[in-house]
């Protein structure tokens, strides 16, 4: 079940802190999952960005595309 904006931010902030990832890593991972976009510097960066995006999807209950919209709406 999707959660509200404040809870989304809280969940993603926890993931970012634990994994030392950036908003850009999340966006690239989500774009890769949603659109098969391969704009990563290395295969390892791509894999870790997709893993970060998958954890964000799982923890927030939002789809990848919904999370991309959330990022745009919240200036992330």
What's the predicted TM-score (pTM) here?
A: 0.86
Q: Could you give the number of structural domains in the chain?
A: 1
Question: CA nearest 21: which of 42, 48, 58?
Answer: 48
pLDDT tens for residues 39-71? 767 889 889 999 999 999 999 999 999 999 999
Q: What is the pLDDT of residue 1?
A: 47
State the residue range of the domain holding 33.
Answer: 5-73
Which of 68, 13, 21, 63 lies closest to 40 in space, CA to CA? 21
pLDDT digits (tens, 9 = 90+) for 9-40: 999 999 999 999 999 999 999 999 988 777 76
């Amino acid at each position: 079940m999707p959660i509200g904006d404040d809870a989304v931010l809280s969940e993603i902030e926890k993931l970012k802190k634990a994994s030392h990832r950036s908003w850009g890593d999340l966006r690239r991972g989500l774009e890769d999952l949603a659109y098969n976009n391969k704009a990563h510097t290395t295969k390892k960066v791509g894999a870790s960005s997709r893993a970060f995006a998958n954890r964000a999807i799982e923890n927030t209950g939002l789809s990848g595309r919904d999370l991309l919209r959330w990022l745009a709406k919240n200036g992330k």
